Chain A
Amino acid sequence: MPIIIQQRSKCIGCNYCVEQAPEHWRMSKKDGKATLIGAVQKKEFWSLKIQEAEKEKNVNAAKACPVKIIDIR
C-alpha cells in the first residue's frame, strides 16, 4: 500500500495539495498549513497509508508542492 509522508512544519500553506487531492488534504484554519487527513505523526513527519487507486492524485500533489515536503512511497 502506498504511503503519503508530509514534513508539515515546512508547509507554506499554498493550497495546491488540497486542489489536487481534496479527499486527503485540507487547509488548517488554526495555522494555515496543509493537514494530511487521518495521518499519524512521528516527530515532524506525518504519514498516511492510502489505496493504490488514490496514489495518482497524491503524486500530483507531491509534484505541485513548491517546497517539496510531500513524499509518496
Chain B
Amino acid sequence: MQKVELMSPAGSFEALHAAIQGGADSVYFGVEQLNMRARATMNFQMDDLKEIAFICKEHHVRSYLTLNTIVYDHDLALMKNIINAAKLAGIDAVIASDQAVIHHAFTQKLEVHISTQLNITNIETIQFYSHFADVMVLSRELSLGQMKKICDAIKKENIKGPAGKLIEIEVFAHGALCMAVSGKCYLSLHTQNASANRGACLQNCRRKYKVIDLEDGHELELDNEYIMSPKDLCTIDFLNELIATGVSVLKIEGRGKSADYVKTVTQCYREAIDLYYEGMYTKIRAKEWIQRLKQVYNRDFWGGYYLGQELGEWTDSSGSKALTRKIYVGKGNHYYPKTGIAEFLIEAYSLSVGDKVAIISPTKGVLETTITSLHVNAHGAMDTANKGDLCAFPLEVAVKPADKLYKIIETAVEEKI
C-alpha cells in the first residue's frame, strides 16, 4: 500500500535538515519575496536552489518551491526567473495559486501543485486544474467526509494530471490556522497596509479585542478576548480517520517556525503514520504525541474544521503555549574530533551540568542532548559556565561557528523565575 506522504516546512537550512532528520518525505520552501512568508528574513535566495535540491536528492526527499502569492505585472519576470531556476536546479515541483504561475510552470514542464490559496472545495475544480497540476491542496475548511468524497470521485472519474497519474490530494495536518477562508485575509492589509496575500501578514487576528455595541455602549461579554485567533490545527489524535479519507499528502504548516519545532512535529507525525500502516496506531500513543507536540510552539490544539464542529475554538493567549522554550546561550567555537569534545563560547546566560540543550545547525539540523560534564576555560571540570566562558562537553558530531547552542527550559519554571 502506498503510504501517505509527509511534507514538512523548510524556512531555513536549519529547518530543512531538521525536516529530514524528523523523517519527512518531502519539504516545501520559498525563495525571494513571492511566497506567503515574504517577511521571513530566512527566506532562501535563488542561488540556494541548487544546494536545496542537492541536499534533498541526497536524502531521497522531494523538494517543492512555494510561489503562491498574488502576482502583479511587475512580478512576472521574477516569477519566471524563479521557476526556470527551480527547473534547472532539479526542484521537484512548484506550489502555485496564480494562474500565470501555474501556466508558466506547466509550459516549463515543472510539476505543479495547487496551493490551498486557491481554496479547492469540489471535484469539478479539481477536474479544471487537472489539466495543469498533479497534486492539489484542499481548502482547510472541508470536513473529513467532504475530503473522502473528493478522493473517491477522483478514482471513480479517473481524473489524471499531466504526469498521467491520478490526482493526489494534499491536506494540512498540523500547524497554525487563521480565521480567514484559506488564508485569504484582508485584515492586515486593511489596518496596516501589509497584505497577507503578498506574504506580509502582521497577524493582527492574534491580538485581544473587545466587542462594543455602539448603539447602547454595551460591551459584549466574552470569556476570551482573542476572538479572531484560532487554536492550532492538530490531527494526530484522529490521523487514522484522516488517512482513511484517501488523501495522499499530509502537510505540516510552519515555514516561519524554528528548526526544533520542525523536527519535533515531523518526528511525531512520522511515527504516527508508520504505526498506522503497521496497524499499531492507537489513541493512547496519540496522547503521548500530543504531549510531545505541546513542548514546542503552539496555541493549544483543535481538529480544525475536519471534524465538522460548528464553531471554531479560539486560543486564550497571543503567543505560544509551549511547555518548553529555548534560550540562546552561545555558538560553536571548536571541535576536537579525536576526543569527541565540542567547545562553545557562552554569549548569554549560563550553562550547567544537567541542562538540556539543543544545537541548531545550518548543516546538520537539530541535535538534542543533556550536559553530563562541563569543562570551563582552563579551570577543568566545573558545574557551570557563565557568559564569556569557553566551555566544552562531549558531543557526537562536529560543531562549527555557525552552530548555535540553546538551553531548553520548561516554561512553568521560567515563569517562577
Contacts and interface: CB of A to CB of B under 8 A. Distances in A.
B200 A12 contact: yes
B-side binding surface: helix, strand, loop or mixed? loop
A25 B228 CA distance: 36
A67 B200 contact: yes
A27 B198 CA distance: 15
Interface stretch (B70-78, B263-271, B306-314): B70-78
Nearest to B45: A9
Interface of A: 11-16, 27-33, 64-67
A30 B78 contact: yes
B75 A12 contact: no
B194 interface: yes
Nearest to A34: B74
B74 A14 contact: no
Contacts of B77: 29-32
Contacts of B79: 32
Contacts of A32: 32-34, 74-75, 77-79
Interface of B: 32-34, 38-39, 72, 74-79, 192-195, 198-200, 202
B78 A67 contact: no
Nearest to B72: A15
Given A11-B33, A14-B200, A64 B74 contact: no
B74 A66 contact: no
19 contacts: A13-B34, A13-B74, A13-B75, A13-B78, A15-B74, A16-B193, A27-B74, A28-B74, A29-B74, A29-B76, A30-B77, A31-B32, A31-B78, A32-B33, A32-B74, A32-B79, A66-B195, A66-B200, A67-B200
B72 A12 contact: no
A65 B79 CA distance: 21
Contacts of B78: 13, 30-32
**Which of A12, A14, A16, A67 has most B Cβ within 10 Å?**
A12
Nearest to B74: A27
A54 B50 CA distance: 44
B104 to A, nearest CB: 14
B38 A12 contact: yes
B32 A14 contact: no
Contacts of B202: 66
8 closest residue pairs by CB, A with B:
A66-B194, A27-B74, A32-B78, A12-B33, A12-B38, A32-B75, A66-B200, A29-B77
Nearest to B34: A32
Contacts of B39: 12, 67
A61 to B, nearest CB: 11
